[in-house]
Chains A and B, each alone.
Chain A
Amino acid sequence: MHFKDIFNAVCSHNLYEYFIINRDFKVTAYSVDAFNYCKSDKSENDIFTLIPELVGMESELQELFLLDKCKPIKIPHIFKEPNCYVNIIIKSVEKDKCHNEEVNSLIVLVENTTEAILAQQKLMQSANENSLLLKELSDKNEQLSKLNEKLEKLLNNNDNT
């Protein structure tokens, strides 16, 4: 079975979409709903316009074309309009390492993680709010202690006089 068929089967669950790009960073293939994550339409084939999160990473992407540098790049938890989160994973499409065939394509995988991230967001929100509240409480306590000290001194002074 061709890898594209396998991918399209996986992608049918709407959790994964993909773009295949060549050495010029132009899209040569994509899954059915991949463009749902892009502002541009299907006439656009520049991956940096379609996935602006990759801007600045040209040299890292170039490295993925080298046979000995095949470690994928993962950019996690990217917010996409209107309300979803994705991981972007870029990996070289290896042909046959044994025959030293050149890598001529990269796969840009878009993984939908909205459900997990929204749950995490709720937890982080309350954790951060609690942390801010604790800090405020501790500051107020400190202020109160200082006031108490001042009051005590004043009372002592009054007693002495």
Chain B
Amino acid sequence: MIRKKILLLGDFSVGKTSLIRRYIDKTFDDSYLTTIGVKISEKEMNIDDVDLKLLVWDVEGATKTKKIPLAYFKGASAAIFVADVSRKETMDSIDAHVETFLEINPNSKYIISYNKSDLLSKEEKNNLILPSNSFLSSAKKDENIEILFEVLAQEIVTQYKEKGR
């Protein structure tokens, strides 16, 4: 079994904890509870005959006054960057999060989740232009949650097979 660390990163209150709860526990809670520090959850899967244990780091949200400790970034194989589609500033800050992450983990994979899609109208959804490595998701409606983690896990396994580590 190989063990790999993945991070969920983004501004506060974008739904990082909800994404993880939906993926791991299949639950959703509408109330907002600020994450402090980091909480690690585990998920085992088998991809292309490789047993993989994902260590999913639910990292506290960044704010203007509180930066994320860089120690959290070390040794991460991948990251999911999360933004709230109803708050433009959280989408604008994705690039900065990605840059910080890649500075420490230049060879790591990442994917972007534009979360809370349930807050958008059908028209707004259609007008949204997303980058190629991203998904419109909703932890509340359980939309595109599994695929976020599966795509990333697949990339981790492919990289592991290529590099043999």
Which residues in B have some Cβ–Cβ distance to A below 8 Å? Answer: 3-5, 12-13, 32-34, 36-40, 42, 55, 60-61, 63, 66, 69, 71-72, 74-77, 87
Contact = CB atoms under 8 A, between A and B. Distances in A.
Nearest to B75: A56
Query: Dominant SS at the B interface?
Result: loop
B55 A55 contact: yes
Given A56-B75, A129-B32, A78 B4 contact: no
Lowest 9 A-B CB distances belong to which pairs? A77-B37, A56-B75, A79-B39, A56-B5, A57-B75, A125-B34, A121-B36, A124-B34, A55-B3
B46 to A, nearest CB: 18
Given A48-B3, A85-B37, A121-B34, A73 B13 contact: no
Contacts, number: 76
Interface of A: 48, 52-53, 55-60, 73-79, 85, 117, 120-121, 124-125, 127-129, 131-132, 135
B75 A60 contact: yes
Given A129-B32, A131-B63, A58 B37 contact: no
B3 A52 contact: yes
B92 to A, nearest CB: 13
Query: Dominant SS at the A interface?
Result: helix
A53 B37 contact: no
A57 B87 CA distance: 34
Given A58-B75, A79-B40, A135-B87, 11 more contacts: A52-B42, A53-B40, A55-B5, A60-B74, A75-B72, A76-B69, A77-B37, A77-B60, A85-B37, A121-B34, A131-B12
